[in-house]
Chain A
Amino acid sequence: MATDQSAPITFRVNGKDVEGHAEPRTLLVDFLRDTLRLTGTHIGCDTSQCGACVVHLDGIAVKSCSVLAVQAAGREVRTIEGLADADGSLHPMQEAFRQHHGLQCGFCTPGMVMTAIELAQSAEPLTPERVREGLEGNICRCTGYHNIVQAVLAGAAAMRQ
């Protein structure tokens, strides 16, 4: 049995330095939700397939259910809570999801938005087919993909302006 290595972890989350206590086996998503109380990042499966927990780690979209909290130490994490401006005005991708009704129950939305933002930052122009491929790892259990694709295309266009 390994000894308890529970230790303080420091990293930047949504632009702020944060610290919390975690064992090495603590997943990043659990650390975000349970320790930092950033519950916008969701857990939608046990199998690392649903994408509801996607966050950006040093600007790259990752499934926070498949990264250890300790692996984020000293790095920059961005979650859904870090997208809107301080005055509450939404990020262009969030606004596009709102305008295009890119959600039904909304549970998958945080992961969809985080994945979509990375997708929108890619150099190639987006087409509906590329958006669908890019959302391969994000499951909408309501099967509301049509409006999500419309929202991502609109959000990506707004981000480029």
Chain B
Amino acid sequence: MYRFTYHQPVTLDAAVQLASSTDDGSYLAGGMTLLPTMKFRLANPSDLIDLGGVEELRGISEEDGRLRIGAASTHAEVAASALVADRMPALAELAGRIGDPAVRNRGTIGGSIANADPAADYPAALLALDAEVITDQRTIAAADFFTGFFSTALAPGELVTAVRFATPAEAAYQKAPNPASRFALVGVFVARHADGVRVAVTGAGPYATRYPAFEAALDASFTPEAAAGVPVDDAGINSDLHASAAYRAHLIGIMAKRAVAAC
């Protein structure tokens, strides 16, 4: 690991201030991606601004009928939250299946979405649950947040402070995990809201996206059969040593069908 300067602010203001005063600083949340990446010398931030001591980033609550999850909430905290389990159990289950227990004990929702791994689980939930990403500067709709391969709408130094989710009538997430990493080969989050069904897919493209063809089919008939009947073109779908594009395209239909069945 290359050398860096370490900072441990205890307030949000101090953290943001530090980020703007460094050359090429990086926030450190759970560190479950950043630290392994630094170990490989694939990242070389001049400064690490550790968010572990910033209390304002913690906590899970209800706000204006939405579930608000502080950015520093760990996957284990989301998975174990009675409030999340009551309002949107699909999100608790998703969090409880990220990585492995030690990763869930450290990794955070804010860190996951800011990293925007194309195979991460949370991005699918944000899109299907019509989430808003709250930062130190503004509110960003989930639809505008994920912009590309490991890319988001965050400006340099901008910090995710919380995510707010719309409560669905029913929802479920199904994924085919990579057996080694537990990242999604394909993950499909289905949520039925009062104004329609949202279907979001992770793992299949450069970043998580909604699948309008599935949404239209499920708006017409919210049944596993309707999901299974939607054709998926494998053009543009990820292909790597773990799974071909055709296989991933096939998995989208399978996971969508299972998710609807689990609703």
Contacts and interface: CB of A to CB of B under 8 A. Distances in A.
A binds B: yes
Contact of A47 (B36, B50, B106): B36
Interface string B96-137: 000111110110000000000000000000000000000000
Contact of A119 (B1, B38, B101): B101
Interface residues of B, number: 29
B31 A24 contact: no
Given A51-B102, A60-B105, 6 more contacts: A24-B48, A68-B6, A70-B6, A71-B52, A115-B101, A137-B100
B46 interface: yes
A61 B100 CA distance: 11
Interface residues of A, number: 32
Contact of B102 (A2, A3, A62): A62
A4 interface: yes
Given A48-B36, A68-B35, A24 B102 contact: no
B6 A5 contact: yes
Interface core residue of B1, B32, B102 (most chain A CB under 10 Å)? B102
Interface of B: 1-6, 8, 31-32, 35-36, 38-40, 46-48, 50, 52, 99-103, 105-106, 180-182
A31 to B, nearest CB: 13
B36 A4 contact: no
B43 to A, nearest CB: 12
B3 A62 contact: no
Given A46-B39, A51-B100, A67 B6 contact: no
A48 B32 contact: yes
Given A48-B36, A51-B100, A2 B5 contact: yes
B18 to A, nearest CB: 14
